[in-house]
Protein backbone atom coordinates (compact mmCIF):
# COMPACT_ATOMS: atom_id res chain seq x y z
CA UNK A 1 0.00 0.00 0.00
CA UNK A 2 1.20 3.49 -0.86
CA UNK A 3 0.44 4.81 2.63
CA UNK A 4 2.81 2.23 4.16
CA UNK A 5 5.73 4.22 2.71
CA UNK A 6 6.91 7.74 3.26
CA UNK A 7 6.73 9.64 -0.06
CA UNK A 8 8.57 12.94 -0.23
CA UNK A 9 7.54 15.79 -2.52
CA UNK A 10 9.27 16.84 -5.72
CA UNK A 11 10.06 20.43 -6.65
CA UNK A 12 8.96 20.72 -10.28
CA UNK A 13 9.93 24.40 -10.48
CA UNK A 14 13.62 23.64 -9.84
CA UNK A 15 13.92 19.88 -10.40
CA UNK A 16 17.65 19.83 -11.15
CA UNK A 17 18.56 21.87 -8.07
CA UNK A 18 16.24 19.72 -5.95
CA UNK A 19 18.30 16.62 -6.79
CA UNK A 20 21.70 18.31 -7.24
CA UNK A 21 21.86 21.06 -4.61
CA UNK A 22 24.14 24.05 -4.49
CA UNK A 23 26.04 25.90 -7.20
CA UNK A 24 26.61 22.74 -9.23
CA UNK A 25 22.88 22.10 -9.57
CA UNK A 26 22.14 25.72 -10.44
CA UNK A 27 24.75 25.79 -13.20
CA UNK A 28 23.69 22.43 -14.61
CA UNK A 29 20.05 23.56 -14.65
CA UNK A 30 20.97 26.60 -16.76
CA UNK A 31 23.06 24.55 -19.19
CA UNK A 32 20.30 21.94 -19.49
CA UNK A 33 17.87 24.59 -20.69
CA UNK A 34 19.92 25.70 -23.71
CA UNK A 35 22.05 24.30 -26.51
CA UNK A 36 23.91 27.60 -26.81
CA UNK A 37 27.45 28.08 -25.56
CA UNK A 38 27.67 30.36 -22.53
CA UNK A 39 30.65 32.18 -21.14
CA UNK A 40 31.31 31.92 -17.44
CA UNK A 41 29.78 35.25 -16.49
CA UNK A 42 26.58 34.59 -18.45
CA UNK A 43 26.24 31.10 -16.96
CA UNK A 44 26.76 32.55 -13.48
CA UNK A 45 24.23 35.34 -14.02
CA UNK A 46 21.55 32.96 -15.30
CA UNK A 47 22.25 30.51 -12.49
CA UNK A 48 22.10 33.36 -9.94
CA UNK A 49 25.51 32.58 -8.52
CA UNK A 50 28.68 34.63 -8.47
CA UNK A 51 31.31 34.23 -11.22
CA UNK A 52 33.74 32.93 -8.59
CA UNK A 53 31.25 30.24 -7.54
CA UNK A 54 30.70 29.20 -11.16
CA UNK A 55 34.44 29.11 -11.78
CA UNK A 56 34.86 26.63 -8.93
CA UNK A 57 32.34 24.08 -10.24
CA UNK A 58 32.64 24.31 -14.02
CA UNK A 59 36.14 22.78 -14.29
CA UNK A 60 34.97 19.76 -12.32
CA UNK A 61 31.93 19.33 -14.56
CA UNK A 62 34.22 19.52 -17.60
CA UNK A 63 36.48 16.85 -16.07
CA UNK A 64 33.46 14.61 -15.51
CA UNK A 65 32.46 14.98 -19.15
CA UNK A 66 29.06 16.55 -18.41
CA UNK A 67 30.13 19.94 -19.77
CA UNK A 68 32.18 20.83 -22.84
CA UNK A 69 34.56 23.79 -22.85
CA UNK A 70 35.78 25.67 -25.92
CA UNK A 71 38.45 28.35 -25.70
CA UNK A 72 37.63 31.57 -27.54
CA UNK A 73 40.21 34.02 -26.14
CA UNK A 74 39.81 35.90 -23.94
CA UNK A 75 36.87 33.75 -22.83
CA UNK A 76 35.97 30.10 -22.34
CA UNK A 77 32.59 28.92 -23.59
CA UNK A 78 30.64 26.14 -21.89
CA UNK A 79 27.73 23.94 -22.90
CA UNK A 80 26.19 20.71 -21.67
CA UNK A 81 27.51 17.61 -23.41
CA UNK A 82 24.18 16.14 -24.53
CA UNK A 83 25.83 12.83 -25.51
CA UNK A 84 27.13 12.20 -22.00
CA UNK A 85 25.07 9.66 -20.05
CA UNK A 86 25.11 11.67 -16.84
CA UNK A 87 24.21 14.86 -18.73
CA UNK A 88 21.22 13.06 -20.21
CA UNK A 89 20.01 12.37 -16.68
CA UNK A 90 20.29 16.09 -15.92
CA UNK A 91 18.25 16.87 -19.04
CA UNK A 92 15.68 14.33 -17.91
CA UNK A 93 15.41 16.11 -14.56
CA UNK A 94 14.99 19.47 -16.28
CA UNK A 95 12.11 17.99 -18.27
CA UNK A 96 10.51 16.28 -15.27
CA UNK A 97 7.22 18.20 -15.47
CA UNK A 98 6.59 17.29 -19.11
CA UNK A 99 7.53 13.67 -18.47
CA UNK A 100 5.20 13.55 -15.48
CA UNK A 101 2.28 14.86 -17.54
CA UNK A 102 2.89 12.24 -20.23
CA UNK A 103 3.02 9.46 -17.65
CA UNK A 104 -0.14 10.71 -15.95
CA UNK A 105 -1.93 10.14 -19.25
CA UNK A 106 -0.27 6.77 -19.80
CA UNK A 107 -1.32 5.61 -16.32
CA UNK A 108 -4.97 5.81 -17.40
CA UNK A 109 -4.61 3.18 -20.11
CA UNK A 110 -4.90 0.23 -17.76
CA UNK A 111 -8.03 1.38 -15.93
CA UNK A 112 -11.20 -0.73 -16.23
CA UNK A 113 -13.21 2.40 -17.08
CA UNK A 114 -11.42 5.31 -18.70
CA UNK A 115 -12.47 8.87 -17.94
CA UNK A 116 -13.95 11.08 -20.64
CA UNK A 117 -11.20 13.57 -19.84
CA UNK A 118 -8.53 14.25 -17.23
CA UNK A 119 -7.32 17.83 -16.83
CA UNK A 120 -4.44 18.83 -14.57
CA UNK A 121 -4.81 22.37 -13.24
CA UNK A 122 -3.48 24.58 -10.46
CA UNK A 123 0.18 25.14 -9.69
CA UNK A 124 1.39 22.09 -11.63
CA UNK A 125 -0.34 23.27 -14.79
CA UNK A 126 1.04 26.79 -14.27
CA UNK A 127 4.63 25.49 -13.86
CA UNK A 128 4.63 26.67 -10.24
CA UNK A 129 4.57 23.32 -8.43
CA UNK A 130 7.31 23.19 -5.82
CA UNK A 131 7.93 20.70 -3.02
CA UNK A 132 4.93 22.03 -1.07
CA UNK A 133 2.45 21.70 -3.93
CA UNK A 134 -0.31 19.20 -4.51
CA UNK A 135 -1.29 18.04 -7.98
CA UNK A 136 -4.88 19.02 -8.79
CA UNK A 137 -6.81 17.08 -11.41
CA UNK A 138 -10.33 17.28 -12.81
CA UNK A 139 -11.58 13.82 -13.76
CA UNK A 140 -14.64 13.70 -16.02
CA UNK A 141 -16.50 10.41 -15.72
CA UNK A 142 -18.85 8.84 -18.25
CA UNK A 143 -22.51 9.41 -17.38
CA UNK A 144 -23.22 5.73 -16.81
CA UNK A 145 -20.57 3.81 -14.89
CA UNK A 146 -20.38 1.03 -12.34
CA UNK A 147 -19.67 3.00 -9.16
CA UNK A 148 -17.38 0.50 -7.44
CA UNK A 149 -15.28 -0.16 -10.53
CA UNK A 150 -15.08 3.55 -11.32
CA UNK A 151 -14.02 4.54 -7.79
CA UNK A 152 -11.36 1.83 -7.73
CA UNK A 153 -9.98 3.03 -11.07
CA UNK A 154 -9.77 6.65 -9.95
CA UNK A 155 -7.98 5.62 -6.76
CA UNK A 156 -5.59 3.44 -8.76
CA UNK A 157 -4.72 6.40 -10.96
CA UNK A 158 -4.36 8.78 -8.02
CA UNK A 159 -1.99 6.33 -6.33
CA UNK A 160 0.06 5.93 -9.52
CA UNK A 161 0.43 9.70 -9.95
CA UNK A 162 1.40 10.09 -6.29
CA UNK A 163 4.12 7.50 -6.78
CA UNK A 164 5.53 8.90 -10.01
CA UNK A 165 5.63 12.54 -8.86
CA UNK A 166 6.05 12.29 -5.11
CA UNK A 167 3.36 14.93 -4.63
CA UNK A 168 -0.12 14.38 -3.16
CA UNK A 169 -2.94 14.28 -5.70
CA UNK A 170 -6.28 16.03 -5.23
CA UNK A 171 -9.03 14.84 -7.56
CA UNK A 172 -12.27 16.62 -8.44
CA UNK A 173 -14.79 14.35 -10.14
CA UNK A 174 -17.62 15.52 -12.37
CA UNK A 175 -20.01 13.78 -14.75
CA UNK A 176 -19.78 14.27 -18.49
CA UNK A 177 -23.24 15.87 -18.64
CA UNK A 178 -22.19 18.50 -16.07
CA UNK A 179 -18.73 19.22 -17.42
CA UNK A 180 -19.70 21.56 -20.23
CA UNK A 181 -21.92 23.67 -18.01
CA UNK A 182 -19.36 23.97 -15.23
CA UNK A 183 -16.49 24.81 -17.59
CA UNK A 184 -18.64 27.46 -19.27
CA UNK A 185 -19.62 29.07 -15.95
CA UNK A 186 -18.10 32.11 -14.26
CA UNK A 187 -17.05 30.27 -11.13
CA UNK A 188 -13.43 31.06 -10.23
CA UNK A 189 -12.36 27.42 -10.03
CA UNK A 190 -13.77 26.61 -13.46
CA UNK A 191 -12.33 29.75 -15.01
CA UNK A 192 -8.92 28.79 -13.62
CA UNK A 193 -9.23 25.31 -15.13
CA UNK A 194 -10.17 26.74 -18.53
CA UNK A 195 -7.26 29.20 -18.40
CA UNK A 196 -4.51 26.94 -17.03
CA UNK A 197 -5.68 23.36 -17.47
CA UNK A 198 -3.52 20.77 -19.24
CA UNK A 199 -5.42 17.83 -20.72
CA UNK A 200 -3.53 14.57 -20.15
CA UNK A 201 -6.27 12.31 -21.49
CA UNK A 202 -9.42 12.44 -23.56
CA UNK A 203 -11.63 15.35 -24.56
CA UNK A 204 -10.20 18.85 -24.72
CA UNK A 205 -11.61 21.71 -22.67
CA UNK A 206 -13.22 23.21 -25.78
CA UNK A 207 -14.83 19.87 -26.60
CA UNK A 208 -16.23 19.60 -23.09
CA UNK A 209 -17.56 23.15 -23.18
CA UNK A 210 -19.17 22.38 -26.52
CA UNK A 211 -21.34 19.76 -24.80
CA UNK A 212 -23.51 22.62 -23.49
CA UNK A 213 -24.75 23.24 -27.02
CA UNK A 214 -24.73 19.64 -28.18
CATH number of the domain that residue 79 is part of: 1.10.10.10
Residues 50 and 101 in one domain: no
23-70 residue pLDDT tens: 999 999 999 999 999 999 999 999 999 999 999 999 999 999 999 999
Same domain, 118 and 140: yes
Give me the domain span that covers residue 188. Answer: 96-213
pLDDT at 212 over 80: no
Q: pLDDT of 75-116, one tens digit each?
A: 999 999 999 999 999 999 999 999 999 999 999 998 889 999
What pLDDT, on the 0 to 100 scale, is given for residue 4? Answer: 58
Would you say residue 3 lies in a domain? no
Q: What percent of the chain has pLDDT over 70?
A: 95
Band (pLDDT 50/70/90 cuts) for residue 2 is very low
Predicted confidence band of residue 160 (pLDDT cuts 50, 70, 90): very high
**Three-state SS across the chain?**
CHHHCCCCCCCCCCHHHHHCCHHHHHHHHHHHCCCCCEEHHHHHHHHCCCHHHHHHHHHHHHHHCCEEEEEECCEEEEEECCCCHHHHHHHHHHCHHHHHHHHHHHCCCCCCCCCCEEEEECCCCCCCCCCCCCEEEEEEECCCCCHHHHHHHHHHHHHHHHHHHCCCEEEEEEEHHHHHHHHCCCCHHHHHHHHHCEEEEECCHHHHHHHHHC
| 106 and 72 share one domain | no
Q: Is residue 121 part of a domain?
A: yes
Amino acid sequence: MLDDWYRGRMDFVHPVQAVIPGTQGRVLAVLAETTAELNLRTAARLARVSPSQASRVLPGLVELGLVERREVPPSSLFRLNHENVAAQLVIGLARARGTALERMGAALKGLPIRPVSVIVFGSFARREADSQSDIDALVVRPDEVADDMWAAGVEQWRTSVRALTGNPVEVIEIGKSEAGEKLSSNGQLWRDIVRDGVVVHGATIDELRGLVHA
